[in-house]
Structure 1
Amino acid sequence: MTTRLKVLATGGTIAGIAGSAIASDYRSGEIGIEDYLEKVGGLGLEAELSGRQIANIDSGDIGPKVWNELHAAICESLADDGCDGVVVTHGTDTLEETAFLLDLTLPATKPVVVVGAMRPADAVGYDGLRNFANAVRVASDPDAAGRGVLVVMGDRVFGARDVRKVRTRGTDAFRGFPRESVGLVTPASLEWFGAPWREDEAAAFAWCDDLPQVVIAYAHAGLCAEEVLRLVGEETRGIVVAGVGEGNMPERVRQELALLAQGGIAVVRASRTDEGLVDREAEDTPNGFVAARALNPQKARILLQLLLASGTGHPAAIQRAFDGR
């Protein structure tokens, strides 16, 4: 029986055009979904594909408006008995954030796969077609269900919690932490490295159309407290520190953030390092801080937004949620 997949397009490099096979610059989101599906029609993919254009933009411009429409479209597809899975095409710059947000707010009932490309469609060595074919292969596999939202890049399958972009060039630009890839895929084969871990699991969080404002403060040598405080406005409900090392920051910054935490603003310590595991420290309790564990700053921000939107605001409760990720 042919697998029926819904392809939801948001733009990005996978739909980009350079105008030259060797150009160094290009325009993201130039190819519409119907033209793209016609382009992949000759690949012989063993799936029936139908498409919908959610957006056609650079992923740096992705935000709540697109997320709202994308989430609604995925939910509609998952509820359709005539749809076996969903593929989302996305730019790579914020792909990990969209995938993680969807992973936290979708049930693990049918495969949902996010895919992108590092090279535009008319470039030498365009990786988009292979990545897309691999994504179709994954989304067509019944064993992909129960694993949450998956990301397919460079012949590897990643869990949304783990995946992160680590390079600006080359097709092997993504890896996972703390888990590496959860599977290997080609257009003709798929190997999983373990059993599904979220079988029939409901969404962890209800969808929120208007996420609370959470800012990210990037720690660096010489960071002063005034720089951080300038990020905080009347609507700010949380701060994620992209800390040096294991979520560290200058002492004066720590003091000011502890005061903000006492005033009800959630403060999460993450790490600016590529593979940063931030454990809870004894000082976190008196400071009112939360340790991000294995989540990088941008993912910690999304989890904190969803927690605050759900009414979870006490540092201990927020910490339990981060420990559970």
Structure 2
Amino acid sequence: MTSTRITVLATGGTIAGIAGSAIAKDYRAGQIEIGDYLEKVGALGLEAELSGRQIANIDSADIGPQVWNELHRAIDDALKDDGCDGIIVTHGTDTLEETAFLLDLTLPATKPVVVVGAMRPADAVGYDGLRNFANAVRVASDPDAAGRGVLVVMGDRVFGARDVRKVRTRGTDAFRGFPRESVGLVTPSSLEWFGAPWRSGEPAQFEWDDNLPAVPVIYVYAGMDPVAATCMIGPETRGIVIAGVGEGNMPESVRRELVRLRKEDGVLVARASRADEGLVDREPEDDVNGFVAARALNPQKARILSQLLIASGTTDLKEIQQAFDGR
């Protein structure tokens, strides 16, 4: 029986990090090259043929358009390669959810694409990276994973890219999903899905754009004034995401300034919430203000979707709201 052929694209992060001590608190992300990592993984006896490529080897706090552009091109090449059955992306956990969501929106659901990371560096006691990686191989080897869009594997759970979010700074259970929790459970030897694929045969929702527009996230707090709210807005700003209090709320003076920007400059304004979980539904004032509601997307994901919508030339607010409503 032929082994599954998996392309591993490495970007660094804690999964490739080194502390220099098994009990050290501090460590350096992105220290192990993919060739060395796959040599270590080879001792696990995984039933897959792995080939690796180093896209970057950095802390995921430094991930941005340059790395995203190269990573997307590499995945696109792998999707077109008949010698590749699935793709794994190793990634730091701090911005993993943003990269996964961006890829999910811009890739077809034709082959499994799995993003994986670790919460502990490779030389730490209880390193979770090898198990997470072995789990990712199990998922990427399953043809049934192809119709589910980009998936994230962390802590024996499989998440959809739209749902996944990092909710803790420490511990191997740092990720969960909202509004769907996990979409499957995985170990190195087993995989169980919680339902049928939801994207079978679907093309990418958006075309890739090498130059995504400027969309800052504005974090709302008690006593905020319009000057503080707009200090991140410049002439290149095409959209704004509000990390609002409660269900995407903001001070009235801030709202008035954003309405002005929307009506005078055509800036897209999306209301999300700084709360960890919860829906931000449309309210009657959104029609008057020209705002959209982020629904289940947190501010960082609302920013990614806003960038893609603007880059695609979508201007109809109903269409934009439908994209945020998702599925």
Q: State the TM-score bracket (shorter-chain normalisation).
A: over 0.9
Alignment partner of 1:227: what SS?
helix
- Write the mapping of 1:285-304 to structure 2, written as runs, cut at 5 A: 285-304=287-306
Look up the match of 1:324.
Answer: 326
Say whether 1:101 aligns with 2:88: no
Look up the match of 1:305.
Answer: 307
Look up the match of 2:261.
Answer: 260
- Write the mapping of 1:39-118 to structure 2, written as runs, cut at 5 A: 39-118=40-119
Residues 270, 276 of structure 1: 8 Å contact kept = no
Whole-Å separation in 2 of the counterparts to 1:96 and 1:24 = 24
Residues 238, 304 of structure 1: 8 Å contact kept = yes
Q: Which 4+ runs in 1 deviate beyond 4 A? A: none
Alignment partner of 2:132: what SS?
helix
1:185-217 Cα shifts (integer Å, max 9, x gaps): 000000000000000100000000000100100
Whole-Å separation in 2 of the counterparts to 1:257 and 1:74 = 38
Number of matched pairs: 325
Whole-Å separation in 1 of the counterparts to 2:117 and 2:288 = 43
CA RMSD of aligned residues (A): 0.6
- Deviation of 1:322 after TM superposition, in Å, equals 1.1
| Counterpart residue type for residue 193 of structure 1 | F
Look up the match of 2:38.
Answer: 37
Alignment partner of 1:284: what SS?
helix
Whole-Å separation in 1 of the counterparts to 2:216 and 2:51 = 37
Whole-Å separation in 2 of the counterparts to 1:283 and 1:153 = 39
Look up the match of 1:136.
Answer: 137
In structure 2, runs of 5+ residues without a counterpart are none
- Deviation of 1:7 after TM superposition, in Å, equals 0.2
Residues 212, 305 of structure 1: 8 Å contact kept = yes
| Counterpart residue type for residue 298 of structure 1 | Q
| Counterpart residue type for residue 145 of structure 1 | A
Alignment partner of 1:236: what SS?
coil
Look up the match of 1:276.
Answer: 278
TM-score after normalising by structure 1: 0.99
- Write the mapping of 1:217-228 to structure 2, written as runs, cut at 5 A: 217-228=218-229
1:231-269 Cα shifts (integer Å, max 9, x gaps): 110000000000000000011001111111102000000
Give % identity: 79
Whole-Å separation in 2 of the counterparts to 1:318 and 1:153 = 31
| Counterpart residue type for residue 247 of structure 2 | E
- Deviation of 1:230 after TM superposition, in Å, equals 1.2
Whole-Å separation in 1 of the counterparts to 2:52 and 2:309 = 32
- Deviation of 1:92 after TM superposition, in Å, equals 0.1
| Counterpart residue type for residue 291 of structure 1 | A
Look up the match of 1:177.
Answer: 178
- Deviation of 1:323 after TM superposition, in Å, equals 1.7
Whole-Å separation in 2 of the counterparts to 1:140 and 1:315 = 40
| Counterpart residue type for residue 113 of structure 2 | V
- Write the mapping of 1:148-187 to structure 2, written as runs, cut at 5 A: 148-187=149-188
TM-score after normalising by structure 2: 0.99
Whole-Å separation in 1 of the counterparts to 2:319 and 2:155 = 37
1:288-321 Cα shifts (integer Å, max 9, x gaps): 1100000000000000100000001233321122
Look up the match of 2:8.
Answer: 7
| Counterpart residue type for residue 152 of structure 2 | V
Residues 99, 160 of structure 1: 8 Å contact kept = yes
| Counterpart residue type for residue 86 of structure 1 | I
Whole-Å separation in 2 of the counterparts to 1:323 and 1:178 = 12
1:69-113 Cα shifts (integer Å, max 9, x gaps): 000000000100000000000000000000000000000000000
| Counterpart residue type for residue 65 of structure 1 | Q
Say whether 1:126 aligns with 2:127: yes
In structure 1, runs of 5+ residues without a counterpart are none
Whole-Å separation in 1 of the counterparts to 2:85 and 2:5 = 5
Alignment partner of 1:214: what SS?
coil
Whole-Å separation in 2 of the counterparts to 1:111 and 1:324 = 21
